[in-house]
Structure 1
Amino acid sequence: MTLDSAVFRFAGVVVLASLALAHWVHPAWLYLTAFAGLNMLQASFTGWCPAATVLKKLGVRPGASFD
């Protein structure tokens, strides 16, 4: 698995988990969905993603987008 696919998988898990928590626990969990979306938007402009930095330090091999 490359860093790119790991970041996309992590973002997908965060979005789906926050939607489930908003449905079954409290609607305020939708703020986490908004945060994930804003983070993906900023990463598309800057090329930097906090999750990519953490995953890289954990040893996930580099991909094409996040080195």
Structure 2
Amino acid sequence: MNIDQAVMALAGTLVLLSPWWLLLPAFVGANLLQASITGLCPAAVALRRLGVSAGCALR
């Protein structure tokens, strides 16, 4: 699994399992939107530090 797949899996899991049905999914969506514009994704940075291999979108 590379970083691209791990970020999508993490975002999907947080949205599906969130007890805060509106707050956390809104935060995840806003984070994904800003990552698509700026290219900086905090989740990708954290996953890279944990040793997940780089993907083609989030390097």
Counterpart Cα distance in 2 of 1:13 and 1:48:
20
Pairs aligned (count) = 58
- Runs (4+) off by over 3 Å: none
5+ residue gaps, structure 2: none
After the TM superposition, which residues 12-51 of structure 1 pair with which residues of structure 2 at under 5 Å, given as runs?
12-18=12-18, 21=19, 29=20, 30-51=22-43
Where is the helix percentage greater, Structure 1 or Structure 2? 1
Is residue 27 of structure 2 the alignment partner of residue 66 of structure 1? no
TM-score (norm 2): 0.93
Q: How far apart are 1:38 and its partner, in Å?
A: 0.3
TM-score (norm 1): 0.83
CA root-mean-square deviation: 0.6
State the partner residue of 2:3: 3
State the partner residue of 1:53: 45
Counterpart Cα distance in 1 of 2:42 and 2:12:
15
5+ residue gaps, structure 1: 22-28
